Structure 1
């Protein structure tokens, strides 16, 4: 099994042509031909077709074999799927190459649309004809991808499910449910499965010629170009970024693409504007603080735009991801220095240093926890991947009361925004710095950062502790 740290970005696609519907007529070929053509384009993909023969157990063991030898993410989808190109891209061309599944809101569950429950952007319960999902709020639409770090778990799950299916312990499941069962297995073994929302796009499995014809015809009802632009903007961003930046920065995406600007170029310009903001802040005048506040805001706009442009053009790179994350910290700390230099307050530098240390600690809380969970998952630690039985037909909620309260808040719009704001994300910090510096002075800015940042740190720490006990 290759080391996950050495995996490349090539996605292996397992196309399950195990149902008669895969041979239904579609244009000049079949549904299998159609989806094969869709998968033939970039990025680089290794498409492996699993044909009927041997039953569900054999199909699952085939998936396990591919997962154990793959050098990148592995995507699994049925050949009887009729979907927009953009729908497939939500997973297959996502920059993270992570573990995720295509899901949809507000669609009645059925044999080809098993129920799932999504909380906090992750699938926390998944169903099949055997597995029940209480309080389901979405449906799975047939496309599942396992990131490189989760391939060993995928292979283990596939082999365990194959054994259970062969011995009849999963009831009358059929080869048509192979992907559904794999999703159930990944979720129940504790893998973090990102919910990739389908939105207005179509992705439907079909069982007959009439349904296939209707599904293909229905694809024309959606403007994929518009959806591509819409999905370039983060759907789950912070309050300030959503309403005061992305509401208009989206109109810059296509012009930037036409000018052939790269995301890294936009990141560089963003850093330049932050440097200019720090210079104006260092002047120590009211007009200087106003100019600095405006430049710092525009710097954040470009910080959002670089990600939007990357998602729109699908021009992702590891360097770009690293540069984007580093630039956020760099710009913020440079502005701290500019504000401190421009203040005549003799006690401003201790406040600036304290604000910097607090931000470093807050980021450490988040990254250290994520790294610990990832390391535990790779090493097989039970607390990193809590075992759950694949034979239990029902799935129940569990977890500490604090965590369940936080999850319930996600279902209420006002509470959900409160949760986002209280952690003082980069958008809210930008607004806080810009407004307090422009209206008052650097001392007020640093005191505001320390007070709000302290509350955010305690909230984050409590959340990490609660999740670690889940």
Structure 2
């Protein structure tokens, strides 16, 4: 996936009005470093042409020497050179005299745009697939490319939680509990453009009044990410996994970064990126460790994620039918069918990420079908227990359904409340001032001045090693539930299955509710 930047003719044939508008900041000397017969700037802009980008604004320094990184050899034209020609795509150049003007140009582009706006540093060396993970996402989200590794001036620290950037830093704004680094690529969705323009203008004013310390001209994207997060805008964290995306500051670093790209099999890396991280223990080690082969096969067969979801539902129905027999051979077959159903339940999301075939309908169907499959299996187990012996486990089955329903209500109501709070914060203005270095929202966790803050601090300390997997398992996610059903049904009987689900489910409910309450107070 992704065209070779050295082949300018490999581009999208059509340009849609919904495609992204890109602002490339060629304001550092590194933008003009030689790279594969051109410059880093030309390499990056050639990559953008292969992605759904309909307009590229290149911002340069107006006082650069002719032919250098900040000026084009034939003067400051309206069309930036180094970009392949695409029908309908606009290539624009603008000059700036410093950090404040850079930010105001970004604000101007955002106010005029009717589609998502991406802001990239021209000294970024990245796999095309790493850029595509954000810029080619069908929902065009507000997001940032985030990697691992220790922070540095060109890799400012960020803290991510549940796939969102919740704190972002730069040379002025500090981050508490960082667990990632920002890689200089940012996209703002259409719904957040007005607030983004306000943030850029506020940062420009602060920079002009020298209220941001010693922030350098190279930190425009870093400042903008900080501003978005502090404004309450939900910023999706796009993980690099085995792909590369980094900013460079010298010729040796640029050559090494390009060499690193060549050492990675980009199609395989795209498949790796489709395998979701942060799943439970069972899903991670017993499904995702090999499901890539099923994803690749499904893609070759041109199956849609919704079709895979349908097959998963069918396998769950088959499992329920075999469970309804109640005898040991049938229970074993039902357990195997349930495991395969869960494998495809994981594969449909992986296939959606691999093919970027997301849809709101697909997400809704996946969530609804998860509940449907689970409850159909409960019914099959209860029917099988009645057929095979004197035990009536229907009360246990109903109790298990009610418990799972309550657990999902707790999860979804909390998630909805968090989303509403974020939307309100984004609409009512920045709750955390950009002129303050520390992220005030994280202060309670470090000081330990409140019980809730102490809980959050402890939770973050446990996000590593064996403790991490204990946290993931204790909440009884769907993978662990399916494994628990399959194993207990195959080895014991439905009564044991429901007792195990009720016991573990109650522990999970108490643990989850306590955590939600603590986070709400914090």
Structure 2 length normalisation: TM-score? 0.80
Gaps (5+ residues) in structure 1?
1-7
Conserved? CA contact 2:125–2:254, under 8 Å: yes
Aligned residue number for residue 457 of structure 2: 404
Q: Secondary structure at the residue paired with 1:246?
A: coil
Deviations 1:85-125 (A, max 9, x none): 12213323446644432233234x33222233445554443
CA distance in 1, matches of 2:22, 2:211: 28
Conserved? CA contact 1:22–1:79, under 8 Å: yes
Aligned residue number for residue 81 of structure 1: 124
The question of 1:55 aligning with 2:98 is answered: yes
Q: 1:170 to 1:307 in 2, by over 3 A?
A: same
Deviation at 1:24, TM superposition (A): 3.5
Conserved? CA contact 2:103–2:203, under 8 Å: yes
Conserved? CA contact 1:282–1:341, under 8 Å: yes
Deviations 1:128-176 (A, max 9, x none): 1222335544332111233455444433322221111111111232332
Deviation at 1:207, TM superposition (A): 3.4
User: Whose Rg is larger?
Assistant: 2
Aligned residue number for residue 368 of structure 1: 413
Aligned residue number for residue 299 of structure 1: 341
Deviation at 1:386, TM superposition (A): 7.9
The question of 1:378 aligning with 2:430 is answered: no
TM alignment of 1:408-423, pairs within 5 A: 408-410=461-463, 412-423=464-475
Conserved? CA contact 1:377–1:385, under 8 Å: no
TM alignment of 1:307-456, pairs within 5 A: 307-344=349-386, 347-380=392-425, 387-395=431-439, 397-399=443-445, 400=452, 401-410=454-463, 412-456=464-508
CA distance in 2, matches of 1:69, 1:353: 56
Q: Secondary structure at the residue paired with 1:248?
A: coil
Q: 1:368 to 1:215 in 2, by over 3 A?
A: same
The question of 1:17 aligning with 2:70 is answered: no
Deviation at 1:48, TM superposition (A): 4.1
Count residues with an aligned counterpart: 460
Q: 1:419 to 1:150 in 2, by over 3 A?
A: farther
Conserved? CA contact 1:119–1:407, under 8 Å: no
TM alignment of 1:28-177, pairs within 5 A: 28-43=37-52, 46-50=55-59, 51-68=94-111, 70-71=113-114, 73-94=116-137, 97-107=140-150, 109-118=151-160, 121-134=163-176, 136-148=178-190, 150-177=192-219
Q: Secondary structure at the residue paired with 1:178?
A: helix
Deviations 1:284-332 (A, max 9, x none): 2222221111101100011111222222222323332222222211111
CA distance in 1, matches of 2:318, 2:382: 15
RCO higher in 1 or 2 (8 Å CA, sep ≥ 6)? 1
Q: 1:137 to 1:263 in 2, by over 3 A?
A: closer
Gaps (5+ residues) in structure 2?
1-16, 60-93, 446-451
Deviation at 1:194, TM superposition (A): 4.0
Q: Which moved more, 1:171-180 or 1:396-405?
A: 396-405
